[in-house]
Homo-oligomer: A and B are copies of this chain.
Amino acid sequence: MEIAETNCSHKNHTQGDCIKSILPVKDALEVLSGKWKLPIIISLMFGNKRFSQIAKEIPGITDKMLSKELRDLEANCLVKRSVYDAIPVVVEYSLTDYGHTLKPVIEVLRVWGTTHRERIMGRVELAVQD
């Protein structure tokens, strides 16, 4: 027997379209995966930093995680590590040009996240407030 008509709107799209969108999104998420990569990148968007400065700016991160994620980001050409042989050796991290191309990604996430936070925090002018 025929299934009743629902308001499905998938009339004429091939499954291929869907996968073509999913794959690059997954690629993007892969390099940004984990709890700390975006925070580190954001921190470096505000300027070059040393290890302990980044650690100070990102609440909760451990040295181990910061070290590991910086290495991952460097391997993906998003972050550059520069060693200056000053009296105590100074290691500075910066975003590469490629790293800076993530700016629109971060910006759109920041904007969406901001309204989402307002939403879940119950910033409802017209409805029930709790």
Contacts and interface: CB of A to CB of B under 8 A. Distances in A.
B9 A48 contact: yes
A48 B6 contact: yes
A7 B48 contact: yes
B109 A102 contact: no
A47 B10 contact: yes
Interface in A39-79: 39, 42-43, 45-50, 53, 56-59
Interface of A: 1, 3-4, 6-11, 13, 15, 17-19, 21-29, 31, 38-39, 42-43, 45-50, 53, 56-59, 82, 84, 86-88, 90, 92, 94, 98, 101-102, 104-106, 108-117, 119-120
